[in-house]
Amino acid sequence: MEVEKTPREELIEQRIINSETRIFKAVFPGDTNHHNTMFGGSVMYLMDEIAFMTATRFCRKPIVTVSSDKIDFKHSIPAGTIVEMVGKVVRVGRSSLDVQIDVFIESMYRDGRDKAISGTFTLVAINENKRPVPVID
């Protein structure tokens, strides 16, 4: 038996689909450390930026990052690769939401890709006084 969704649940489901954000970046030597891999801090900066864009696209309100959950660095990101970062809303609260960021790496010259890094960011919608407001009116 199929459970009927509320209008709010349907709205959230559609906004999650519409707000998924994908960004690609080529990793050049200027992006890397002495191991010829991308700086971890640079990756975290980009992950937070993608989380911000995803959350903003979801609620279309001013938004700030309030925390990041465990960020798993499973594979290093070498120079000369293409990075795809995918942001998806995975939890919607009253004034906050969680955005899962997955980072994939692929060679420029052969097929296939691997998930390199994943993490979750919590963001809060705010008003002009920097006070929390509902993510959905």
Is residue 54 within 8 Å of 99, Cβ to Cβ? yes
Buried/exposed 51-62: b ≥16 CB within 10 Å, e otherwise:
bbbbbbbbbebe
Confidence of residue 6 (pLDDT cuts 50, 70, 90): very high
Q: Sorting pLDDT into bands at 50, 70 and 90, what band is 1?
A: confident
Residue with tokens 């199929």, as numbered in its chain: 2
Contact 115, 43 (CB under 8 A): no
User: Domains of the chain: which residue ranges?
Assistant: 5-123
Q: Which residue has the tokens 């930026």?
A: 49
Whole-prediction pTM: 0.93
| Pairing assessment for the beta strands 63-68 and 114-125 based on DSSP bridges | antiparallel
pLDDT (tens digit per residue) in 32-86 = 999 999 999 999 999 999 999 999 999 999 999 999 999 999 999 999 999 999 9
* CATH value of 5-123 in 3.40.50.620, 3.40.50.300, 3.10.129.10, 3.30.2130.10: 3.10.129.10
119 bridge partner residues:
101
Is 16 strand, coil or helix?
helix
pLDDT tens digits for range 90-113: 999 999 999 999 999 999 999 999
Q: From CA 18, how far away is CA 100, in angstroms rounded?
A: 15
